[in-house]
């Protein structure tokens, strides 16, 4: 059954009511007693909710009681939201309101006397309903369990921070790898006529087909055999245009990626020509991962395109769950991946359940229970790994026995059912993690998540625990993601310091869809209508927007287009939002093409998250946007035609994330500097700006991202004006002189405490700016990309004693590392790619610099293709 998330909703309501700010505001408007009584009833009910959630599975009456309770909770949430909106409006009116505003306020429904009367009635109604439902709790004999004791024991995740698969991470698949490589190396009798060989790997979900394909893909013998390697996740949609675009993007990751939205407008012939020119004469390996298409016509069309002008010996490796698809695509017999042997399953389980190698020998009783658990996993590595992670650092036999003896193993298992091991692991999630995980269901399969995107959504929907002292919401998100990673619910995890990237397995995505099915809906062409109870909507295809909003539902809180809204009828959608979805929290219209926004958008006063980034047409924004005082995230980044920001921007007093593109030569500092909560600022495609930040104070700013500002010449930053700045990224600002910065520094001024710095697409950068040396004690991550004229790294770089990650990508003139780079004892990740001479000197065991960098845990050196070809000759 679907998850209700009721304990975490109750906890969130009580936390809000207990906050000092809320109590003070309720006293001012005379509603303190009403809200105190509501909190008291909520606390009584919350005390039995954990027991109720555990017992509901076999008790339909209890399930119905919880559903009624949830409905009242959500109504209470809306009432408290309304109260917060009014409190914010009063703050704005006091700080920035004109006499006209105050008169207008007096005669509106927001007048304090009118508002108090209305709110008192709403709180009374909710309390009455809650009292009525709460009285029934005694029927069910529920125990009081006040605190959720389910915790996640986190392992050291540093070894799981990239998508490449090392030999030590794969157990029991060495034989499979050798067999597939043997097939690759066999001379196909048809190679002379340049036909493509297609090798399918087939097996059930969670068996490790993708892992095995990566294992093969990263083998050195494959590197030597194929000049060109490409990896494409296919998943549910076998659209020829999309696949061509993915393949082209995979051929050369250095190029700007082709856009994948609104494919009806893409010239197919032009795409085909581009693909042919990229592959012409190349002996390539293409992996098509996770194929579900059984339409032979589509497959033959793609195969014929790939075959045109191809070099002899090119191969395609396919992974699929379906035998008939493998037979349709394969030119050789399918490689049928078998379940792991009991011995290998146990080795994998032990690897994930115990912290150190050999630790299991101290706990033979647990290992014996583990053997029985592993049997129930039936040799499926995903199941084995997930349960090993679940029991990590748990040494009480009863906890292991509970997993072994759980009734979920006895349920009949159909072909497409949720993997029992995953559901069992999910059932051990703390309540705060469940809602967050369920929201992954709003993204399509194989989606590449970025932690900042996840953070903004979770924060806007109020599913994050309040940060503790000296913590930020981003810190809480990082903790949650670490917990999910520890449970093996995330994969391909790349930790970039302030930003992480990851994916989730298809079966984990299925679990998210299952637990969220009463709340979240990923709309595609197969969805005919939207149930009334759905609160969060995500459109995987803009074309599925059509008749979606014919339902009577007013419950919708989120509308998203994770693949972009290009081509969607956004004007009609916005009118629907204003008329029907008045309680909307999240509206993400990235890549839309609308030319205007309605003034009525200012009525969506509950909105926390609003994005129209990368809209190519919009020139002006209505000033009514500044009435959205709850906004935490607002982005017009990439809206290159936008002439100016709306007047009254200072009124957005909750704004924490702001993305700007504008034709204005100077930012409206008098507006922006009043945004006292602003922590993350992105400025892009603002081609008339020559300087940013001259002497302007941003007391809360933590992250600054400046991209594609062609006229920008100076960027004066200092700790006086930006005392909290931790992360700086500068990209494609071709006239920016980073050394000008030092002219703005006084000799004795305190130093910036930057933790993450990135420079990209800066052809004018011949050497790293001197001021970077000031960050020696704080810098954790340094990323340098596409700096064509960077010739050297300074010797003072070796004084960066806290540096953990150094990434140098596509800097062709860079030929050496600092002599004392071995002094960087904290350095864990060194990635060098696209630097021909430097890559040669850093080759493992043979390069002249290898002895200086061999101590680093994760070293990744990738030579450019041209250099490899020259060496082969």
Give the pLDDT confidence score for residue 590 in this predicted structure: 93
Residue 763: the pLDDT is 92
Going by C-alpha positions, the residue among 804, 763, 770 that lies closest to residue 787 is: 763
pLDDT of residue 160: 35
**What's the mean pLDDT in 59-81?**
92
Q: What pLDDT sits at residue 3?
A: 74
- Among residues of the chain, what percentage have pLDDT more than 70? 88
Contacts of 45 (CB under 8 A, 6+ apart): 10, 69, 130, 134, 137
Of 218-232, 303-317, 642-656, highest mean pLDDT:
642-656
H or E, element range at 680: strand 680-684
Confidence (pLDDT) at 163: 39
Stretch 619-627: mean pLDDT, rounded?
94
When pLDDT is averaged across residues 247-270 and rounded to a whole number, the result is: 61
Q: Give the CA distances from residue 514 to residues 1, 204, 418, 440, 511, in Å, rounded to whole numbers and listed in that order.
A: 8, 19, 8, 11, 5
Q: What is the pLDDT of residues 580-601, one digit of tens each?
A: 888 999 999 999 999 999 999 9
Q: Using alpha carbons only, how large is the chain's radius of gyration in Å? A: 29
pLDDT at residue number 862: 79
Burial of residue 368 (CB within 10 Å: 0-12, 13-18, 19+) is: exposed
Residue 869 pLDDT greater than 60, yes or no: no
Residue 464 half-sphere exposure toward CB, CA atoms < 13 A:
22
What is the model's pLDDT at position 107? Answer: 40
Supply 287's token pair.
Answer: 């992996």
Q: Tell whether the model's pLDDT for residue 238 goes beyond 70.
A: yes
pTM summary value: 0.83
Q: How many other CB atoms are found less than 10 A from the CB of residue 722?
A: 23
Residue 34 pLDDT grade (very low, low, confident, very high; cuts 50, 70, 90): confident
Instruction: Dump pLDDT digits (tens) for 807-852.
Output: 999 999 999 999 999 899 899 889 999 999 999 999 888 889 999 8
What is the rounded CA–CA span in Å between residue 603 and residue 598?
Answer: 10
Least Cα distance to 595 among 618, 561, 621 occurs for 618
Q: Which of 410-414, 500-504, 731-735, 835-839 has the lowest mean pLDDT?
A: 410-414
Residue closest to 603 by CA, chosen among 120, 98, 108: 108
Residue 111: the pLDDT is: 66
Mean per-residue pLDDT for 78-101? Answer: 80
| pLDDT over threshold 80, residue 661 | yes
* Residue 539: both structure tokens together: 């459109």
CB 118 within 8 A of CB 450: no
Number of H helices, E strands in the chain: 27, 23
Q: Please give the C-alpha separations between residue 282 and each of 301, 511, 827, in angstroms, as whole numbers.
A: 20, 41, 37
CA dist., res. 711 & res. 695, Å (int): 19
Mean pLDDT in residue range 114-124? 86
What is the 3-class SS of 171-198, one letter each residue? Answer: CCCHHHHHHHHHHHHCCCCCHHHCCCEE
What pLDDT, on a 0 to 100 scale, did the predictor assign at position 264? 43
pLDDT, residue 246, reads: 86
Q: Quote the pLDDT of residue 272.
A: 81
Question: How far apart (Å, rounded) are the C-alpha atoms in residues 365 and 369?
Answer: 7
**Residue found by looking up tokens 């504008």 in the block:** 662
| In contact, 349 and 388? CB cutoff 8 Å | yes
Rounded CA-CA distance 217/656 in Å is 42
Using pLDDT thresholds of 50, 70 and 90, give the confidence band for residue 872: very low
Angle formed by the axes of helices 60-96 and 6-18, nearest 10° = 30
> For 178-207, what is the mean pLDDT?
79
| pLDDT beyond 50 at 871 | no
**Cβ-based neighbours of 164, under 8 Å, separated by 6 or more:** 214, 218, 860
At a CB cut-off of 8 Å and minimum separation 6, what does 343 contact?
none
DSSP letter at 11? H
pLDDT in tens, 135-167: 988 888 888 887 777 665 555 444 333 335 666
108: pLDDT strictly greater than 60: no
Q: Residue 840 is inside which H or E element, if any?
A: helix 836-841
Contact assessment for residue 702 and residue 679, using Cβ atoms and an 8 Å cutoff: yes
> Using an 8 Å Cβ cutoff, are 130 and 41 in contact?
yes
CA 776 distance to own-chain centroid: 30
Residue 755 has pLDDT above 70, yes or no: yes
Please give the average per-residue pLDDT across 178-200, as a whole number: 76
Residues 6+ apart with CB under 8 A from 108: none
Task: Give 541-597 as a DSSP string.
Answer: SGGGGTTGGGS------EEE-TT--TTS-HHHHHHHHHHH-TT--EEE-TT---S--
Q: Please, which pLDDT band fits residue 105 given cuts at 50, 70 and 90?
A: very low
> How high is the pLDDT of residue 263?
42
Give pLDDT, residue 27: 85
| Closest among 391, 382, 383 to 363, alpha carbons compared | 391
Q: What is the mean pLDDT of residues 19-46?
A: 87
Q: Classify strands 609-611 and 586-588 as parallel, antiparallel or unpaired.
A: parallel
DSSP state, residue 254: T
Are 380 and 204 within 8 A, CB to CB?
yes
Mean pLDDT, rounded, of the chain = 85
Q: Name 208's Cβ contacts closer than 8 Å, sequence gap at least 6.
A: 170, 173, 337, 340, 381, 382
Vertex 327 angle, CA 321 and 333, to 5°: 100
């Amino acid at each position: 059954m679907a998850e209700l998330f009721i304990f975490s909703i109750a906890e969130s309501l009580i936390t809000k009511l207990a906050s000092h700010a809320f109590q003070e505001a309720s006293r001012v408007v005379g509603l303190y007693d009403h809200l105190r009584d509501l909190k008291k009833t909520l606390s009584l009910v919350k005390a039995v909710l954990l027991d109720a959630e555990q017992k509901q599975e076999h008790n339909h009456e209890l399930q119905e009681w919880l559903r009624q309770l949830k409905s009242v909770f959500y109504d209470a949430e809306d009432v408290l939201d309304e109260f917060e909106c009014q409190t914010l409006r009063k703050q704005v009116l006091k700080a920035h309101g004109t006499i006209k505003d105050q008169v207008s306020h007096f005669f509106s429904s927001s007048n304090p006397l009118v508002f108090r009367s209305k709110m008192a009635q709403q709180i009374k109604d909710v309390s009455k309903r809650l009292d009525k439902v709460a009285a029934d709790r005694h029927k069910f004999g529920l125990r009081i369990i006040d605190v959720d004791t389910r915790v996640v024991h986190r392992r050291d995740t540093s070894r799981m921070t990239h998508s490449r698969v090392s030999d030590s991470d794969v157990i029991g698949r060495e034989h499979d790898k050798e067999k597939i490589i043997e097939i690759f190396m066999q001379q196909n009798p048809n190679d002379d006529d340049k036909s493509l060989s297609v090798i399918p790997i087939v097996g059930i979900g969670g068996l490790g087909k993708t892992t095995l394909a990566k294992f093969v893909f990263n083998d050195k013998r494959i590197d030597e055999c194929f000049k060109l390697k490409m990896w494409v996740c296919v998943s549910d949609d076998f659209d020829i245009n999309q696949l061509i675009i993915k393949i082209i993007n995979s051929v050369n990751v250095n190029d700007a990626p082709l856009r994948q939205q609104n494919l009806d407008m893409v010239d197919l012939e032009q795409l085909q020509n581009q693909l042919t020119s990229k592959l012409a004469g190349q002996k390539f390996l293409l992996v098509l991962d996770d194929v579900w298409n059984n339409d032979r016509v589509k497959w033959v069309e793609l195969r014929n395109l790939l075959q045109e002008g191809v070099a002899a010996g090119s191969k395609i490796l396919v992974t699929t769950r379906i035998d008939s698809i493998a037979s349709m695509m394969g030119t050789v017999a399918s490689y049928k991946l078998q379940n792991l042997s009991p011995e290998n399953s146990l080795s994998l389980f032990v690897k994930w359940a115990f912290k150190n190698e050999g630790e299991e020998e101290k706990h033979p009783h647990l290992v014996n229970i583990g053997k029985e658990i592993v049997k129930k996993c039936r040799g499926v590595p995903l199941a084995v790994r997930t349960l090993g992670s679940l029991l990590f650092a748990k040494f009480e036999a009863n906890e292991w026995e509970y997993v072994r003896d759980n009734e979920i193993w006895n349920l009949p298992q159909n072909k497409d059912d949720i993997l029992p091991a995953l559901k069992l692991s999910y059932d051990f999630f703390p309540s705060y993690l469940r809602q967050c995980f369920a929201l992954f269901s709003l993204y399509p399969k194989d989606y590449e998540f970025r932690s900042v995107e996840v953070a903004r959504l979770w924060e806007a929907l109020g599913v994050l625990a309040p940060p503790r002292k000296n913590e930020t919401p981003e810190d809480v998100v990082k903790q949650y993601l670490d917990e999910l990673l520890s449970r093996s619910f995330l994969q391909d995890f790349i930790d970039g310091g302030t930003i992480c990237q990851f994916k989730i397995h298809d079966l984990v995505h299925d679990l998210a869809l299952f637990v969220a099915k009463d709340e979240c809906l990923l709309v595609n062409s197969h969805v005919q209508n939207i149930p009334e109870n759905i609160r969060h909507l995500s459109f995987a295809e803009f074309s599925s927007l059509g008749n979606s909003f014919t339902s009577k539902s007013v419950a919708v809180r989120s509308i998203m287009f994770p693949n972009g809204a290009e081509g969607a009828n956004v004007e009609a959608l916005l009118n629907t939002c204003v008329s029907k979805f008045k309680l909307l929290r999240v509206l993400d219209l990235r890549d839309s093409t609308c030319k205007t926004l309605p003034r009525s958008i200012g009525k969506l006063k509950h909105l926390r998250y609003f994005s129209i980034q990368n809209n190519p047409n919009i020139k002006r924004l209505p000033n009514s946007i500044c009435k959205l005082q709850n906004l935490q995230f607002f982005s017009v980044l990439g809206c290159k035609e936008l002439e100016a920001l709306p007047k009254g921007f200072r009124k957005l007093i909750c704004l924490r994330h702001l993305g700007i593109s504008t034709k204005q030569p100077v930012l409206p500092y008098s507006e922006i500097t009043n945004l006292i909560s602003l922590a993350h600022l992105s400025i892009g495609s603002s081609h008339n700006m020559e300087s940013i930040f001259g002497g302007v104070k941003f007391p809360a700013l933590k992250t600054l991202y400046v991209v594609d500002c062609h006229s920008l010449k100076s960027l004066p930053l200092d700790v006086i004006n930006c005392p909290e700045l931790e992360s700086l990224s500068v990209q494609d600002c071709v006239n920016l002189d980073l050394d000008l910065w030092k002219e703005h520094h006084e000799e004795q001024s305190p130093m910036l405490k930057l933790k993450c710095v990135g420079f990209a697409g800066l052809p004018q950068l011949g050497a790293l700016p001197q001021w970077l040396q000031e960050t020696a004690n704080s810098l954790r991550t340094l990323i340098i990309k596409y700096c064509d004229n960077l010739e050297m790294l300074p010797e003072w770089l070796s004084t960066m004693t806290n540096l953990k990650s150094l990434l140098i990508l596509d800097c062709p003139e860079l030929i050496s590392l600092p002599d004392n780079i071995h002094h960087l004892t904290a350095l864990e990740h060194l990635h060098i790619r696209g630097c021909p001479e430097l890559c040669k000197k850093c080759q493992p065991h043979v390069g002249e610099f290898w002895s200086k960098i061999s101590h680093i845990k994760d070293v990744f050196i990738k030579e450019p293709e041209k250099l490899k070809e020259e060496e082969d000759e």
